[in-house]
Amino acid sequence: MFSLAQKTALVTGAGSGIGRAVAQLFARAGATVWVVDRDAAAGEGTVAAIRAAGGAAEFAALDVSNEADALALSARLPALDILVNNAGIGHVGSLPNTAAADLDRLYAVNVRGAFNLCRAFVPAMLARGRGSVINLASVAGVVAVRERLAYTTTKFALVGLTKALALDHSHTGVRFNAVCPGRVETPFVQARLAESPDPAAARREMASTQLAGRMAQPEEIAAAALYLAADESAMVTGSTLMIDSGWTAGK
């Protein structure tokens, strides 16, 4: 396993799903992990699970869309080696059923959230000359996804933000990369499937876009984040790491 010993990491949206899997894997790799989430109970649950497994973790409550709170958090936390901007929200709809408020809401979390955390924590990384920032984007940040107008728009913006940061800071020792998953079987997705009139058919439809014929598990996305966080990926910056089981292979 790639080692993160002696490193401090912060993972947003770490109360469940991909964020929780990333936080747990980073802790197993030796990092001290700051678990950040709006939901205190969920975040504390991740911390408890990490500690029960012998890892080191702390919780901090944060709405990533609030720039002032992000800056205040950075003032009281130690300098980071790794920042994972995982917090994100979705919306189903095309133009006729996507309101401007829907787009604004997704932009505030999916794009401004990552921007706010970078503004808060990256300056210290630049001063130290090292660090890895990992933005959880999506296959929808590389190709458009039907009926996901607002989500696709914000994920394309997040990929663009990642590339701009990487280019601007290419000689600093601080790296910026995006992980772009396809469909992932998170608790959120499982809940949405359960609400479907035909959960089995909905599951098949979601899995059909990926050549493996199944959705990814959160731990498979976490493994990619671990590589990008580790020193072994020192030559990787400005990249979009696709974990989509071939969804975009022919596009």
| 28 is a domain residue | yes
Percent of the chain with pLDDT over 70: 100
pLDDT, tens digit, 9 for 90 and up, residues 98-143: 999 999 999 999 999 999 999 999 999 999 999 999 999 999 999 9
Contact (CB, 8 A) for 162 and 240:
yes
Same domain assignment for residues 193 and 144:
no
Locate tokens 């912060």: which residue?
10
Number of domains forming the structure of the chain: 2
Same domain assignment for residues 116 and 24:
yes
- Which parts of 87-239 are beta strand (E)? 131-136, 174-181
Answer whether residue 194 shows pLDDT above 80: no
Q: How confident is the model at residue 80 (pLDDT cuts 50, 70, 90)?
A: very high
User: Which residue, 139, 109, 118, is CA-closest to 37?
Assistant: 109
Sign of CA dihedral 14, 126, 181, 212: negative
Same domain assignment for residues 133 and 209:
no
Range of the domain at 226: 8-181+219-241
Q: Which two tokens stand for residue 194?
A: 């359960």
pLDDT at residue 81 in the model: 98
Q: Rounded mean pLDDT of 58-82?
A: 98
Instruction: Determine whether 107 is an active site residue.
Output: no
- The catalytic residue among 34, 59, 151, 156 is 151
Same domain assignment for residues 132 and 71:
yes
| 1 is a domain residue | no
| 145 is a domain residue | yes
Contact (CB, 8 A) for 100 and 122:
no
